[in-house]
Every structure is written in C-alpha cells, then in structure tokens.
Chains A and B, each alone.
Chain A
C-alpha cells in the first residue's frame, strides 16, 4: 500500500482525497478533443498551507501535481499527462475582501468567475471584474494561469494585466506574496517592487496561485449591446480602429459563423455600451453610429443590425450545437487586429475541408493592441470520425497562427511545441532555467511548457 493516499488524507482531511477509479474518472477528461489521461490521486485542499504540504509531499515522492480550477480550458491543460495528483482547487473559494473605494477584491484562486460576479452584483453593485466568456464555473486562478481575457479586455487588456497582487505556493512548498501585500501593505498594487512574477501564463508549471487581488472597475447602471454588420471582412480592422480610437465602449468583438444562417459570410461587431444614464448611453451611441460608423452606413457597406440589446457574453459554445453530440474545442490566438480578414478566410477554409460549420471570433484586447482570435470546431462526442476531424482542424489552425505571425493562446501540448520550436534561444534557455530553479523535480503539471 503506498503512503501517498494516507498522507493526502492527513493533509486535506477525510473525504477530500481519493484514489478511487470512479472519482478519478471525472478528472481524466476535459470538454475538448483530448484523449483521457488518468491521475493516480485527487486532493482538494482548503488552504494555501495544505497546498504547500501537498507540494512538499509530491517533491519527496517525485509525483506530478496538476492544478485544476474549473477545468474549462478545453485544450487538455489540466489533464494529468503524466499521472500523479489532480489538485482540485475549487474548495479555495473565499472572497476575502472587497475594497470598494480602492476598487479591488482579494479572493482565493478557486473562486469562480460566476461567484465573484454574483457577489459583486449583490454586495457592490457599482463594481465589476473582467469576466471571461467561459462558463461561470471557470476560476480566477485557472484563468490567470492561461492569460485569459474577459469583457473588459478592450478598455483594460488581459485579465493578467488587472491584478494588484498574488499569493503563490512555489513547487517546493514555500508560500510567497507579490505586490504591495508582500511588504505588509494592503493588496492595492502590484508595482513598483522588483518584478519577480514568473507564474502567469505557465499553466501552473511554476507554482500554484492561491490568492489574488483583482482590479475592479465601475459597473455602469445601463448596459447594452449594439451590433454592426459588414460583408467585407477587410473592413473589420478599420472599424475596430475607429471604435478603439473613440474609446467609449466596453467589450468589442467581431464574429462570423456559418450557422445560424444569418451570420454566414457576414461579419458582426458587437459593441458593449454602458452608462449611468440614458443620456450618457445615447451620447455614446451617437458618436459610434453618427460619427464613427456613418460613412459605412451611408455608402451601404455597413449597417446597424441591432441596438440596445441585452449584453450577452460571446456565445462560442453554441457552436457545439451545430453537430449532434455537443462537443466543441477552439484554437485561441493572440493576433494583431489587422490579421482578422486572413484569419477568417483561412479558418473558413479549414472548417469547410473538415465538414464543420465555421465559427470565428476576434475580441479586441487593449486599445486595439491585439485581439484574441478564435476558431471553433464542433464535433460529435459519440462519433470518433468527427472528433478526429476536429482534432486535425485544431492542429492545422495552430500552424496557421504561427504562419500568420500570431501567438497561440492557451496552446495544447501540440501548440506549445510549435511555439517552443520558434522561440528565441536565449528566451528558451531562460525559461528552462526558471523552471529548473522553481521546480527542480519537474513535478508541476509536467508536459506543459516543457523545454528539453
């Protein structure tokens, strides 16, 4: 009988660790096209101290540890590629503090985006955070570990640009703090101390995020979505340029999909507009439609498809419905906005070849500095042929991202290898040194961001 299971029980308590197959089953799969990968154990810690104990144990036993938040990242990133302990962080879900005037919230990393949104809505109705379009069970920690973006990406950038501080458990078990909280001050700023942040975007391969101070932003009372449509994809970059110059909107997303038919070969831009009064919103609508977009309307190449709609998060998951058996996975990429037309054309071509209705989307990040461009591929979970088609389409798309000079976002292992192969050698060597320094036994989510 191995000693790992009793040690895990000792750390997290009875009922929060398991090695039973029926419980491991859930942790062996994710929602996408990845083959199942089984962990040997699962443990669900409640505190950073318990996380630290588990990591020390894993180092002693040389057992991999794979952190898991909501498990919504789709690309197999939280699957235990090399077995070991699945570390389910969903019990670490305390909202510790909301500083209303300082506009930040300190939360445990397992807090879900849905929970934080609901909490703010009820307790601090003038504040919001940047929630991704993911299902609400997605966690704050998981999203930061992959450099996610949410519905405030246009005004404020990546979600990882919106943190004021973090607590991390290093692979060797030390608990560290970053930002003003590291010197015992409040959790109100990440800067100006020396930058030792080596944890974001690493899929947990350099440490486990246990606490975060997230920036919050004004939540305006009136909120709506306007939709503008064009047929010529080449117009999208300049339209987004106009709108980002105006700088008066929240989320800005361009999308097109073969299904439902109304959006086929047309490009919709959803424009989230908010204000504390109808007059504020109308001023913004006027500047958008009567100043910035009027030339497209009057020349007949662009039109107002809808105004004052209830805000919806990007609905990529709906594409899972276009085939029986409800599966979908997407390649996300970080691209220059100018690449939209080519991304659309190449994506539509791949989809057609694999008999999948195309679904593409580009979300503006920052003031048009980049966009997260995604290509979604639907498949039928019960039909291996369609899963294979989707998997091949995903791989081909990873290659396109590299071809077009973009960066694959939250790449699966295949995409990580493409990126590492292209990476500057000195950067690669630095990554290797960091990984070795922080995780000498290579226990943290092995298989992810592995530099040979």
Chain B
C-alpha cells in the first residue's frame, strides 16, 4: 500500500518548528512544538491531533518540504482521533461513492479541464478564456469517478484517499490526456503534492487553474480593460498544497488592473472559510467558525475591498452569501478574468 514519504530527520533537526508555531488555530510555543512533533512522529497522542482545524496550512509553513499535515491526518486515523463526529465521517466517505454507472470515456486531444466533482459548475468555464480546453467530468451523475478524494484529509481518512485514488487517476488517464488543468486547487494539490508524497504515480501533467488563466490572459492581453476594482482573495485550504502557484493571484490581479487590498489575513496568514471547522466536534467549533468568518470579512472590509475573489466552491458555499450581505461582490477568479476581457460573469 502507499506510504507517506516522511523524513523524520528533517523535523528532528528543525529549529523553527514552523508547522506548529505558525498555526493560526493553536497557540504553540517553540518548545511545546518540538515536544508535540516528536509525539506525533512517534505515533503518540498529542493535543495537536485533537485540536487541529485541518486547514492544511502547515504543509506550507514547513520550510523543509516535509509533510506535517499528511502526517497529522495519518496519526488521527491510526489513533482514531477524528476531528469530525463519526456520522459526518461516515457520510463524507459514502458521499464519494459513484452510484450512477460508469463514465463515458472519450479520448481528449490537447489539454483537458477537469471539473472533478463540480460538473454542475461548468458555467464557470465558459467564454474565450476556456475555448481551447476540452471539459472532463461534465456529467454530474458520474462526477464521483473524477473525485480527487482529498477532502478526506478533513475527515482523518488517509486510508480512503489511498484506496480510491488509483482508480480516479486511471479514469482521468483513460482519456489519453497529456495535460490537465484542474478547476479546483484540491485536485491540483492531489496530483502534484499528495500523490508524490505517498509515492502514487500520476501519468498526466497537472496545470494549476491560475497559471492557466494567467497565460491565457497574456494571449488575450490586447482585449484586457483594467477593472480598477479593489479585491480581496479568499485563499482556500488546498492552495496550501501548491504555494508555488499562489503568486499567480497577484500576477493575474496586476494584469487585469485590480488592486489586491492590503490585509492582515492574507497569504500565509489567510483564514479558513470556516466550512470544515463548523462541523468539528471540539466544543465551540461552530462559534469559532463564525468568529473566523466575521474576522475575515471585517478584514476585507477594513482594507476597502469591493470584491471577494474565490477559487474554491466550498468557500463560496460557506462565505459567498455572507460577503454579499456585507456589501462585497463574491466572484470566482475566472469570472473576474472574464470581466476584464469584456465578457459577462457567469
């Protein structure tokens, strides 16, 4: 079975312990961090396993390319310290089971755009930005055949990801594609971070949506009219698995003439949308999620943002309406880009 390639010596020789000291949901000093990391590595109980908000951010905080978050989740599963109540775990695991027949596999020439489990959001992939791509996973009845499974990191269920991912990769590969743009960061993170960390082969090349959008905008540069908007970006948890792609946010904003407003909770310090925290069993989780949302939106407003840009549909689900109620316009990044080339948002 697949095994996490985790280099313990990197942690033992680490003198910053950023993975835990930078955590925004637990207040951990360097000494405690060192002790707790050792416990986790040794397979012992640690309060970190209980209190982890599962925001993925420690994957980015680690400067040594180790995988602290994957290790935490693995230990949560081994020690049965699940962040979510049992029925939510069972529900989540069952949700990913395809039940409406096999997908129709057709050969895709050129680059594909993988919608994953967001088939019903294909309207966000319209217009000139996407005209060179062939959509994959457009049938919502079959979309779970394309489900990257990474969501189970929130559920303490590495085993489910490892059980199912091989089949998903084979389904995508069966389209005979060389390059796949992933609609969702989470899929991108699966194939470029998680899979290599567990030694899982991925026979296609993955492209981050923002990198694709940026390059496509360069092709359409003459059509870009600066939007002159002040925008905030709601960074999703899975973006922590591809921090090297995060700079594309500002590159796109610069290209389309929007101002990325200066905020406290931005970049590495971005706050979770609250979606997963809200359901956790730790006392006060719902309240914590609401407080985070409030803090986040207040911060956007204070910075003068007019638009809140999203990439993750789950963040839109939890925050979209709230930012709108606070006078900010919620927009997918692709829609913002469409506006810049004179198209209408979806």
Instruction: Give 1 or 0 for each of B77-112: 1 = CB within 8 Å of chain A CB.
Output: 000001011111011101101010000000000000
1/0 per residue, CB under 8 A from B, across A302-319: the answer is: 111101100000000000
Q: Does B134 contact A (CB under 8 A)?
A: no
Asked if B85 and A297 make an inter-chain contact with CB atoms under 8 angstroms apart, the answer reads yes
Binds A, one of B24-32, B231-239, B277-285: B277-285
Q: Which residues of A contact B283 (CB under 8 A)?
A: 294, 298
Q: Tell whether, in the assembled complex, residue A266 and residue B97 are in contact, meaning their CB atoms are under 8 Å apart.
A: no
In whole angstroms, what is the CA distance A299 to B99 when docked? Answer: 31
B290 to chain A: closest residue by CB: A282
* B85 contacts across to A, CB distance below 8 A: 296-297, 300-303
**Chain B: CB-nearest residue to A304:** B279
B286 close to chain A: CB less than 8 A = yes
Asked if A300 and B86 make an inter-chain contact with CB atoms under 8 angstroms apart, the answer reads yes
- A231 contacts B by Cβ under 8 Å: yes
Across-interface contacts of A302 in B (CB, < 8 A): 85, 87
A270-298, CB < 8 A from B: 278, 289-290, 294, 296-298
User: Which of B82, B278, B286 interacts with A300 by CB under 8 Å?
Assistant: B82
Q: Could you tell me if A290 and B287 are in contact, using CB atoms closer than 8 angstroms?
A: yes
User: Is B278 a contact of A266 with CB atoms below 8 Å?
Assistant: no
CB of A268, distance to nearest CB on chain B (Å): 8
Is B99 touching A261 in the complex (CB atoms < 8 A)?
yes
* Contact in complex: A259, B99 (CB < 8 Å): yes
Instruction: Assess the B87–A304 pair: CB atoms within 8 A.
Output: no
Chain A, residues 251-276, CB within 8 Å of chain B (1/0): the string is: 00000000111111110000000000
**A152 lies within 8 A of chain B by Cβ:** no
In the complex, B321 has a CB within 8 A of chain A:
yes
Q: Is A303 in contact with B321, judged by CB distance below 8 angstroms?
A: no
Residue of B nearest to A235 (CB): B87
Q: Is there a chain A Cβ closer than 8 Å to B325's Cβ?
A: yes
Q: Is the CB of A231 within 8 A of B87?
A: yes
Instruction: Tell me, in angstroms, the Cα distance from A259 to B99 when the chains sit together.
Output: 8
CA distance A302 to B84 in the complex (A): 9
Report whether B286 and A262 are in contact in the complex, using a CB–CB cutoff of 8 Å: no
Contacts of B281 in A (CB 8 A): 297-300, 303
The bracket for how many chain A residues form the interface is 20 to 34
Interface: A230 (CB within 8 A)? yes
What residue in chain A is nearest B284 (Cβ atoms)?
A290
Q: How far, in angstroms, from A260 to B92 measured CA to CA in the complex?
A: 12
- Rounded to whole Å, the gap between the CB of A192 and the closest CB of chain B is 47
Instruction: Tell me which of B82, B86, B99 contacts A301 (CB under 8 A).
Output: B86
What size tier do the contact residues of chain B reach? 20 to 34
* Min CB–CB distance B279 → chain A (angstroms): 5
Question: Does A229 touch B at the CB level, under 8 Å?
Answer: yes
Shortest CB distance B229–A (Å): 26
List B contacts of A231 (CB < 8 A): 86-87, 90
A229 touching B91 in the complex, CB below 8 Å, given contacts A261-B99, A301-B85, A304-B279: yes
In the bound complex, do residue B95 and residue A262 qualify as a contact, i.e. CB atoms below 8 Å apart? yes
> Taking each of A261, A296, A301, A302, which has the highest tally of chain B beta carbons within 10 Å of its own beta carbon?
A261
Query: Among A264, A278, A290, which residue has its beta carbon within 8 angstroms of that of B325?
Result: A278
State A230–B85 Cα separation when bound (angstroms).
9
Question: Which among B82, B86, B91, B278 is the interface contact of A307 at CB below 8 angstroms?
Answer: B278
Question: In the complex, what distance in Å separates the CA atom of A294 from the CA atom of B183?
Answer: 36
* Contact call A303/B87, Cβ cutoff below 8 A: yes
Contact at B286–A229, with CB atoms within 8 Å? no
Whole-angstrom CA separation of A301 from B287 in the bound complex = 19
Q: Which of A230, A262, A296 has the most CB of B within 10 A?
A: A262
Could you tell me if B90 and A266 are in contact, using CB atoms closer than 8 angstroms?
yes
CB distance A305 to B321 under 8 Å?
no
Residue among B85, B88, B278, B286 with the most chain A CB within 10 A? B85
Q: Are A260 and B279 in contact (CB under 8 A)?
A: no
Pairwise interchain contact B91-A262, C-beta atoms closer than 8 A: yes
Restricting to B257-310, which residues have a CB under 8 Å from any CB of A?
278-279, 281-283, 285-287
Establish whether residues A303 and B287, one from each chain, have CB atoms under 8 Å apart when the complex forms. Answer: no
CA distance A294 to B87 in the complex (A): 14
Chain A residues with Cβ below 8 Å from B286 are: 289-290, 304
Distance of A261 Cα from B98 Cα, bound (Å): 8
What is the bound-complex CA distance between A300 and B83, given in angstroms? 9
| Contact in complex: A261, B287 (CB < 8 Å) | no
Which residues of the other chain, A, contact B325 by a CB distance below 8 angstroms?
Answer: 278
A278–B290 alpha-carbon span in the complex (Å) = 13
- Which residues in window 183-197 of B have CB below 8 A to A? none
Which residues of chain A (220-268) have a CB below 8 Å from chain B?
229-231, 259-266
Q: Which residue of the partner chain B has the closest CB to A230?
A: B87
Residue among A301, A302, A303 having the largest count of chain B Cβ atoms under 10 Å: A303
From the candidates A230, A264, A294, A303, name the one contacting B84 in the complex (CB within 8 A).
A303
Cβ distance A287 to chain B, nearest Cβ, rounded Å: 12
**What residues of B have a CB within 8 angstroms of the CB of A299 in the complex?**
281
CB distance from A73 to the nearest CB of B (A): 30
C-alpha gap A412/B86 in the complex (Å): 40
Distance of A2 from chain B, by nearest CB (Å): 52
In the complex formed, the residue of B with least CB distance to A259 is: B99
- Chain B residues lying within 8 Å of A289, measured Cβ to Cβ, are 286
Partner of B279, one of A230, A264, A266, A303: A303
Q: Which residues of B contact A230 (CB under 8 A)?
A: 87
Assembled-state Cα–Cα distance A308/B325 (Å): 14
Which A residues are closer than 8 A to B by beta carbons? 229-231, 259-266, 278, 289-290, 294, 296-305, 307-308
Report 21 cross-chain contacts, Cβ distance below 8 Å, ordered by A residue.
A229-B87, A229-B88, A229-B91, A231-B90, A260-B95, A262-B92, A262-B97, A266-B90, A266-B94, A289-B286, A290-B287, A294-B283, A300-B85, A301-B87, A302-B85, A303-B88, A303-B91, A303-B279, A304-B278, A304-B279, A308-B321
- 6 smallest beta-carbon distances between A and B, as pairs: A303-B88, A303-B85, A262-B95, A261-B97, A231-B87, A261-B94
Given contact pairs A261-B94, A290-B287, a sample of 13 additional A-B residue pairs in the complex whose CB atoms are under 8 Å apart: A229-B87, A259-B99, A266-B90, A266-B91, A289-B286, A297-B85, A297-B285, A298-B281, A300-B281, A301-B86, A304-B279, A305-B91, A308-B321
